[in-house]
Structure 1
Amino acid sequence: MDNARKVAVDVLNEVFYNKAYSSIVLGNMLNNSTLDQKDKGLVTEIVYGTIKYKYTIDKILKEFLKNNFDKTDRFLLNILRITIYQIRYLDKIPEFAAVNEAVNLVKKHVSLGASKVANGVLRNYLRNKEGAYYKEGNIFEELAFKYSFPQWMIKLFYEQYGIHLCEKILFGLNQRPDITVRVNSTKGDYENIFNRLEENGYQIEEGYVCPEAIRIVRGKSIEENPLFKEGVITVQDESAMLVAPAMEIEENMTVLDLCSAPGGKTTHAGELLNNTGEVLAFDIYEHKLNLIGENIRRLGLTNISLSLLDATNYEENLEEKGHRVLIDVPCSGLGIIRKKPEIKYNKNMKELQEIVKIQRKIMTNAARYVKEQGVLLYSTCTLNKGENEDNIKWFLKQHPEFKVEPLFFGKVDNIIYHEEGYVTVLPNTYMDGFFIAKIRRTK
């Protein structure tokens, strides 16, 4: 029988040292393990929690390991990380049990000497749980330790949003994400599908802001549900659900989706067309198009075609092709840290600046694909204004034939309606951080 904490350490080793995606490596390791469902849940909690709070945990460990932190055996260091996480952030696991389990695992997988180090560090921490591990009086160090974010990211949010919204963003990005599903309007009505989910034993609620959304509060894996397999529902965050309806899609239109993976917005557009018209969906990676194709077939959509395309390269045969053109551009992903906490540690300011060049190439090409009076929809899952507001302002200077049209998704406290017309969605329990701009070609 596999040990839950050993599996968690193996996952973290791949994420922290081999830059693996947490969701992928965790899924693979759990599927290949002999753990029962309860232990799989524990592994998932420990992995995501430890990644989420790595900055804070490492600040604590550096206090006890001193100059040896960077030289510490990786297995030992990850055992210390997951144990500090359990002690500091979980209530259900007794402290002595967490420490004993850690010491025994280090003794088994590293050495007796390393287990003595683990025992010393962890018991020292237990005596100093309320200690100050940052420079008091420094707002950036305080926020970084409290919310467990690198200081450069704290400063970015602080400078762009001010202290109040900065803290709101940090708090929101640390929330446990809900699973939300979108009702496929081509296969049934909302009320009927809602009732069928309840009959299948799910505890559910209506969406936070999207009329197509159903929140899964409690229940078994949604992908094993007959309604999912029948294509009646599909998993999608509510922020992403806002995008396709914002285009004001009408039947028989041609919709271009230039950066379509993972395909949620593509299929949503197909549903809004009610299987009329056409959605021309493109992506740079063939394996991602294959996954989108599987979803299209599951959802029973017949109006979507898939093609390889690098959206940074101009494609002449798409000139003025689309009534609606969607560019959900590659971005830094700072709005989806709830789901991918490793983004905290694998991004930097240089990458944020470099991605803007790619985004602007895509915007320039996409402008040429929009019919007169058509709509260009720009969206990202980041909160960096350099990739959002600044790009829209740049685009409008380059293309005076376009203008932003205001969007409104309802009065909720996490959506910012800018006077220019575009929208920023702040992360909370229900939604990822997002940015959406609807831009009309007027001539």
Structure 2
Amino acid sequence: MRLHRNLCFAVIDGLTSIFNEDEYADKVIQKLLKRDKRWGSRDRGFVAETTYDIVRWKRLYAEIAEVKEPFDRDNLWRMFAVWATLKGIKLPDWKYFEGTPTRKIKGKFDELSKSRVLRESIPDWIDDMGVAELGEVKWTKELAAQNKQADVILRTNTLKTTKEKLQNLLFDQNIETEFIKGYPSALKLTERANVFVTEAFKKGFFEVQDASSQMVAEMLDVKPGMKVVDTCAGAGGKTLHIASLMQNKGQIVAMDIYESKLKKLKIRARRNGVHNVDLKVLDSTKPIKKLYNKADRVLIDAPCSGLGVLRRNPDAKWKLEPEFIDRIRGVQQDVLQKYSKMVKPGGKLVYATCSVLPSENQNQVQAFLKTEAGTEFTFVKDKKVLAHESGFDGFYMALLERKA
């Protein structure tokens, strides 16, 4: 592979924004990819994947390059040189790479890889927490899985097409996919591709949604004609899945504290042909209280650490702080207490997170069931999904039923 100056500069600019200006990697990369209209798919792929790679391995590469935060541009070029050397890419004779000790880099990599926190490039405190909650063996495997690039998984919008028809349509556009056993609406890309430029996407035939995330709406066991509340809807990936399972019949109330996210959901719903969703911005407790004892189904896709989706959001591990985790556990219990009151007698509730930590998952459910609000509910089942076992995102979901 030959390195191109303009692409490498884009990567360095992106890393500056992510590491020094605290911007989110996905937003930075979206901006970078619009930088030069002449770039082809391979160029854009290089910029996105290289940036994510260096973000993912920040601690390891910084240690090998012997640089410390905050990183200036020279530091970032040194980390880039580490990335390229470990990938077996020949460094061009640019001034940024002068005096790069390529042989020393490989030796240092081998030496530092004996330590898990460096090998898997993770802050010490997250590593300690993972070991305490999952145990040494399971956490070591999970961390390794969270550092692998995630597959691109699509969820067929069954309001508009079938999985088989979608597969054929994408094949005609040179995008090959395969079915995933046990996931009724999922298609996995055999090779990465920009699916957002396809006609199939523009017509709302699919959404990009990990296989683990697709299990959440399935667990909710919705039926056409029901009243369903998605309490932390965000941009609505699960809301749209629920709508397709309900065949557009009945009512979905999609709530979120961020109006900007619900605006995105509105656009996505239009593209998906979904018209049974009411959007509610949670700027007070009024919308919640109005729905007490009214919903057949309630989904609480709770705010969490996101430690199950580090494959997709590698910068999250550098942005997380111990205080945030403590605070979010309080928020999780609070939303369980408040939102569970919307479930009518005989109705069902699903509590879900994209975390792998028991303290955010089964422990929260067990704690809830012991409270006054929780005595109204019966635990039906739960599912703990780990990336190293499933090959998909780390997730947790629990199904509770309100006593009739």
Q: What TM-score results when the alignment is normalised by the length of structure 1?
A: 0.85
Shift of 1:255: 0.3
Structure 1 residue 195 and structure 2 residue 168: aligned? Answer: yes
312-321 or 226-235, which deviates more: 312-321
Residues 372-411 of structure 1: matches in 2 within 5 Å?
A: 372-398=345-371, 399-406=374-381
Alpha-carbon distance change, 18 to 130 in structure 1, aligned in 2, over 3 angstroms: closer
Task: Pick the aligned partner of 1:75 from 73, 78, 81.
Answer: 73
Residue 219 of structure 1: CA displacement?
5.9
Please say if residues 184 and 234 of structure 1, whose CA atoms lie closer than 8 Å, have aligned partners that are also in contact: yes
Question: Do the aligned residues in 2 keep the contact of 1:312 with 1:365 (CA within 8 Å)?
Answer: no
* Deviation (angstroms), 1:251: 1.3
Q: Provide the secondary structure at the position in 1 that maps to 2:358.
A: coil
Report what 2:219 is aligned to. 246
The answer on 1:358 being equivalent to 2:331 is yes
Per-residue CA deviations over 1:129-182 (Å, capped at 9, x if unaligned) read: 456348x6xxxxx11122111222222221211222112211110111111111
- Cα deviation, residue 123, structure 1: 4.7
**2:251 — aligned with what?**
278
CA displacement at 1:442 relative to structure 2: 1.1
Are 1:312 and 1:358, in contact at CA under 8 Å, matched by a contact in 2?
no
Give the Cα–Cα distance (whole angstroms) in 2 for the partners of residues 143 and 311 of structure 1. Answer: 45
Q: Secondary structure at the match of 1:242?
A: helix
Cα displacement string for residues 283-303 of structure 1 (whole angstroms, at most 9, x for unaligned residues)? 111111110001100010111
1:55 alignment partner AA = R
After superposition, the CA RMSD in angstroms is: 2.1
Render the CA deviation track for 1:316-349: whole Å, top value 9, x for unaligned: 2111121000010111111110011011111122
Shift of residue 128, structure 1, vs aligned partner:
3.8
Gap regions ≥5 residues in structure 2: none
> Which residue of structure 1 aligns with residue 140 of structure 2?
167
1:344 paired to 2:317: yes
Partner of 2:24: 21
Q: Which moved more, 1:373-382 or 1:188-197?
A: 188-197
3-state secondary structure, aligned to 1:276: coil
Listed as ranges, the matches of 1:27-426 within 5 Å are 27-33=30-36, 34-62=38-66, 69-70=68-69, 74-88=72-86, 90-91=87-88, 93-94=89-90, 96-97=91-92, 100-101=93-94, 104=95, 106=96, 119-120=98-99, 122-123=101-102, 125-126=104-105, 128-129=107-108, 132-133=111-112, 142-207=115-180, 209-218=182-191, 220-309=193-282, 315-398=288-371, 399-406=374-381, 422-426=382-386
Does the C-alpha gap of structure 1 residues 297 and 367 become closer, same or farther in structure 2, counting only changes over 3 Å? same
**Paired AA for residue 334 in structure 1:** L
Shift in CA distance, 126/400, structure 1 to aligned 2, threshold 3 Å: closer
Deviation digits for residues 235-290 of structure 1 (CA, Å, limit 9, x no counterpart): 11111100011011111100000110121100111111101111000111111111
Q: 1:20 to 1:313 in 2, by over 3 A?
A: farther
**Aligned equivalents of 2:6 and 2:16: distance in 1?**
16
Of the candidates 7, 11, 15, which is equivalent to residue 8 of structure 1?
A: 11
Change (3 A) 1:305 1:313: closer
Deviation by residue 1:416-442 (Cα, 9 ceiling, x = unmatched): xxxxxx211111484111110111111
In the aligned structure 2, how far is the partner of 1:55 from the partner of 1:298? 41
Rounded Cα–Cα distance in structure 2 between residues aligned with 1:320 and 1:326? 14
Moved over 6 A (4+): 311-314
Q: Distance in 2 between matches of 1:28 and 1:189?
A: 33
For 1:410, the equivalent position in structure 2 comes to none
CA distance in 1, matches of 2:106, 2:401: 61
Match of residue 387, structure 2, among 427, 432, 435: 427
Give, as a single letter, the amino acid of the residue that structure 1 aligns with 2:231. L
CA contact (8 A) 1:256 1:280 kept: yes
* Native 8 Å contact 1:379 1:437 kept in 2: yes
CA distance in 1, matches of 2:13, 2:181: 36
Q: Call closer, same or farther: CA 1:229–1:365 in 2, change over 3 Å.
A: same
Quote the sequence identity (%): 27
Answer yes or no: is the 8 Å Cα contact 2:133–2:359 preserved in 1.
no
Report how far residue 127 of structure 1 moved.
7.2
Letter in 2 for 1:403: T
CA shift, 1:43, in A, is 1.4
User: 1:437 is paired with a residue of what secondary structure?
Assistant: strand
1:110 maps to what in 2?
none
Q: Distance in 2 between matches of 1:280 and 1:319?
A: 13
- C-alpha offsets along residues 188-210 of structure 1, whole Å, 9 cap, x if unaligned? 22222222222221111112541
**TM-score, structure 2 length as denominator?**
0.92
SS of the residue aligned with 1:157? helix
User: Hey, what's the Cα distance between the residues in 1 that align with 2:338 and 2:191?
Assistant: 44
Compute the displacement of 1:371 (Å). 0.5
Contact 2:154 2:186 in 1 (8 A): yes
1:289–1:206 CA distance, 2 compared to 1 (3 A): same
Partner SS for 2:378: strand
